C-alpha cells in the first residue's frame, strides 16, 4: 500500500489502452450469459455470470443498489428549428433529496447540463407532452449558472403529474457518452437492473445488469443473503479525471439512502463476507462506516442540512472506531431522530491507500482508463488490477456498461 496521501496519486499511473472494439455497444441476448472473471487470492479464472452463486465465498452478504435510471435527457425544439438538450443532474428546489423531488408536482428547479446553450438566448422552452393540446406541455426556464451546469425551472401542465411521470413522458434514457448512439426501445429494459425500484439515477449501476431472477434465486439457495441500498448514480461517474494529480480532482457527490433494517442486517453480518454489487454499493457501504465514525467522534460534516462524507475524510481522520461502533452510532442517530431511513451525500474517493472497513469483495464491470473507478479497483486488489485488465483484454472480455463482469476477492 502506498505511504503517500492519495491526493498525490498521478492518474497517468492508472491507464491502459482500451481499443474501441472492446467497448460493448449493446448487451448480450441474455443478462447472465456474460463472462465472469474471478480474481481470488491473486489467481485469475474465467467463467460465466450464471456461475456466480458457486463462486462466492460461503455465507456471503451481497449488497445491491436498487436505484432506477430516469429518462433524464430532454430535447426541446425551438420555434426556429434548433434543438436545446437538457440533461437533469440533481434537484435544487424545493428539496434536494432525489426521491422526494421526483414526487414533486407543478414545478421543480434542477441543475442541468445544457446542450446548445449559446442558441438559447432567452425565454421559456416548451415541449408538448402529446399530439393534442389537452395532453399538456413541459416548460423550461434557465435561471442562473450552477456548478458545472445551469439552474433550470421546470413547470408543466397538467400540474398534478409528478416530475417522475413528466420525465417518463418527455425524456429519453441517458446512455453513457462512450456508447456513441441514441437509446433504443430495448434499452428501457436492459439499461435497468431487474430489481431497480427507486427512481433517481442518471446512469445504471452496471454491475447489477447481469443479474436475472434465476441467478438471484440460486444465490439464496446457496445460503447467501441479499440486501439493498440506494445510491443515485450521477453523471459524475463518467467525469474524466483531467488533473494529473488527484489533489486537483473534485469528486462528484451522490445521494445515498439506507433503511434501519439494512443497518441491522449489516451489523448482524459484519464478521462474514460482504460483497458489494458494483462500485456504487461499495461507496455506499464504506461511506456508512465513515458517517458512523464521524458521528462517534463528533466530526461529522454537514452540507446544507445533509449528512456528508467529504472526498478525503477517510484519509485525514485517524480513528480506531470499530465497524460495530460505527453502525450502532447510525442506529442511535435514526432512533433519536425517529427516522426509518438514513439519507446522506457522499463524495468519498476510494483510491490506493484506502483501508476497507466493511467490504471484503466486489462484483464489477471493466472500467475506463484513468477513471476514479479504476482507482477503486486498485484500492481493493492493488497492482494486480493491471494483471486483471491485461487478462480481460487478451481473452475477449467486453468492457464498460454493457460489458462483462468480474468478481474480485483480494
Instruction: Please answer whether residues 7 and 312 qualify as being in contact, where contact means their C-beta atoms are separated by less than 8 angstroms.
Output: yes
The answer on pLDDT for 1 being more than 50 is: no
Q: Kindly indicate the confidence band of residue 3, based on its pLDDT and cuts at 50, 70 and 90.
A: low
The answer on pLDDT for 79 being more than 90 is: no
Sequence spans of domains, the chain:
6-69+189-409, 73-171
pLDDT at position 239 is 76
Residue of 108, 95, 112 lying closest to 138 (CA atoms): 108
User: Could you tell me the three cell numbers for 307?
Assistant: 449528512
pLDDT at position 303 is 57
Mean pLDDT of 94-107: 93
> What whole-number distance in Å separates Cα of residue 153 and Cα of residue 139?
8
The answer on pLDDT for 177 being more than 90 is: no
CA pseudo-torsion sign 90, 308, 251, 373: negative
| Angle (CA) 52 16 283, round 5° | 50
Least confident among 207-216, 237-246, 303-312, 374-383: 303-312
Instruction: Please answer whether residues 363 and 405 qualify as being in contact, where contact means their C-beta atoms are separated by less than 8 angstroms.
Output: yes
CA distances from 211 to 48, 205, 251 (A): 12, 12, 29
| Strands of 232-340, DSSP E | 254-259, 274-277, 302-303, 306-309
Which H/E stretch holds residue 172? none
Mean pLDDT of 103-113: 96
Share of the chain above pLDDT 70, in %: 98
Residue of 205, 173, 174 lying closest to 283 (CA atoms): 205
CA distances from 119 to 76, 83, 115, 123 (A): 12, 9, 9, 11
Share of the chain above pLDDT 90, in %: 87
Q: Which tens digits make up the pLDDT trace of 47-70?
A: 999 999 999 999 999 999 999 999
Mean pLDDT of 376-396: 98
| Angle (CA) 199 363 231, round 5° | 25
The overall average pLDDT reported for the chain is: 94
Residue 269: burial class (beta carbons within 10 Å; 0-12, 13-18, 19+): middle
> What whole-number distance in Å separates Cα of residue 278 and Cα of residue 275?
9
pLDDT at position 93 is 93
Q: Does domain 6-69+189-409 have CATH number 3.40.640.10?
A: no
Mean pLDDT of 120-132: 91
Mean pLDDT of 79-99: 91
Instruction: Please answer whether residues 188 and 247 qualify as being in contact, where contact means their C-beta atoms are separated by less than 8 angstroms.
Output: no
Residue 387: burial class (beta carbons within 10 Å; 0-12, 13-18, 19+): middle
Q: Which tens digits make up the pLDDT trace of 17-43?
A: 999 999 999 999 999 999 999 999 999
The answer on pLDDT for 238 being more than 80 is: no
The answer on pLDDT for 244 being more than 60 is: yes
Mean pLDDT of 345-360: 97
Residue of 201, 334, 321 lying closest to 261 (CA atoms): 334
pLDDT at position 118 is 87
Q: Where are the alpha helices (DSSP H) in 313-383?
A: 313-316, 323-336, 372-381
pLDDT at position 169 is 95
User: Could you tell me the three cell numbers for 82?
Assistant: 434548433
> What whole-number distance in Å separates Cα of residue 213 and Cα of residue 221?
12
The residues, any chain, with a CB within 8 Å of residue 258's CB and separated by 6 or more, are: 229, 230, 284, 288, 341, 342
pLDDT at position 146 is 86
For the chain, the residue count is: 410
Amino acid at each position: 500500500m502506498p505511504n503517500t496521501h492519495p491526493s498525490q496519486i498521478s492518474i497517468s499511473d492508472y491507464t491502459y489502452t482500451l481499443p474501441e472494439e472492446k467497448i460493448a455497444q449493446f448487451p448480450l441476448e441474455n443478462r447472465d450469459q456474460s463472462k465472469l472473471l474471478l480474481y481470488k487470492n491473486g489467481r485469475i479464472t474465467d467463467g460465466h455470470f450464471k456461475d456466480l452463486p458457486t463462486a462466492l465465498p460461503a455465507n456471503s452478504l451481497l449488497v445491491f443498489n436498487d436505484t432506477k435510471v430516469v429518462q433524464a435527457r430532454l430535447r426541446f425544439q425551438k420555434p426556429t428549428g434548433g434543438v436545446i438538450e437538457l440533461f437533469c443532474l440533481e434537484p435544487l428546489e424545493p428539496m434536494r433529496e432525489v426521491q422526494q423531488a421526483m414526487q414533486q408536482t407543478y414545478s421543480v428547479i434542477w441543475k442541468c447540463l445544457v446542450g446548445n446553450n449559446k442558441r438559447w438566448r432567452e425565454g421559456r422552452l416548451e415541449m408538448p407532452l402529446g399530439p393534442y393540446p389537452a395532453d399538456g406541455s413541459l416548460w423550461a426556464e434557465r435561471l442562473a449558472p450552477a456548478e458545472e451546469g445551469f439552474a433550470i425551472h421546470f413547470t408543466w401542465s397538467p400540474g398534478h403529474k409528478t416530475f417522475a411521470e413528466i420525465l417518463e413522458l418527455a425524456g429519453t434514457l441517458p446512455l453513457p457518452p462512450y456508447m456513441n448512439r441514441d437509446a433504443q426501445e430495448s434499452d428501457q429494459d436492459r439499461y435497468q437492473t431487474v430489481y431497480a425500484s427507486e427512481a433517481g439515477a442518471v446512469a445504471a449501476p452496471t454491475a447489477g445488469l447481469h443479474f436475472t431472477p434465476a441467478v438471484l434465486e440460486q444465490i439464496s439457495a446457496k445460503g447467501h443473503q441479499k440486501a439493498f441500498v440506494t445510491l443515485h448514480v450521477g453523471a459524475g461517474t463518467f467525469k474524466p479525471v483531467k488533473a494529473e494529480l488527484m489533489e486537483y480532482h473534485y469528486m462528484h457527490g451522490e445521494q445515498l439512502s439506507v433503511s434501519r433494517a439494512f443497518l441491522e442486517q449489516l451489523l448482524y453480518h459484519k464478521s462474514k463476507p460482504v460483497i458489494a454489487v458494483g462500485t456504487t454499493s461499495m461507496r455506499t457501504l464504506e461511506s456508512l462506516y465513515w458517517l458512523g465514525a464521524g458521528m462517534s467522534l463528533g466530526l461529522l460534516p454537514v452540507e446544507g442540512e445533509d449528512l456528508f462524507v467529504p472526498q478525503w475524510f477517510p484519509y485525514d481522520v485517524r480513528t480506531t472506531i470499530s465497524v460495530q461502533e460505527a453502525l450502532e452510532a447510525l442506529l442511535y442517530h435514526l432512533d433519536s431522530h425517529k427516522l426509518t431511513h438514513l439519507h446522506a451525500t457522499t463524495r468519498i474517493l476510494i483510491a490506493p491507500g484506502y483501508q476497507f472497513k466493511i467490504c471484503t469483495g466486489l462484483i464489477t464491470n471493466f472500467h475506463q482508463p484513468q477513471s476514479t473507478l479504476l482507482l477503486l479497483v486498485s484500492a481493493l486488489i492493488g497492482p494486480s488490477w493491471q494483471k486483471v485488465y491485461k487478462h480481460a483484454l487478451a481473452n475477449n472480455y467486453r468492457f464498460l456498461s454493457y460489458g462483462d463482469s468480474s468478481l474480485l476477492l483480494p
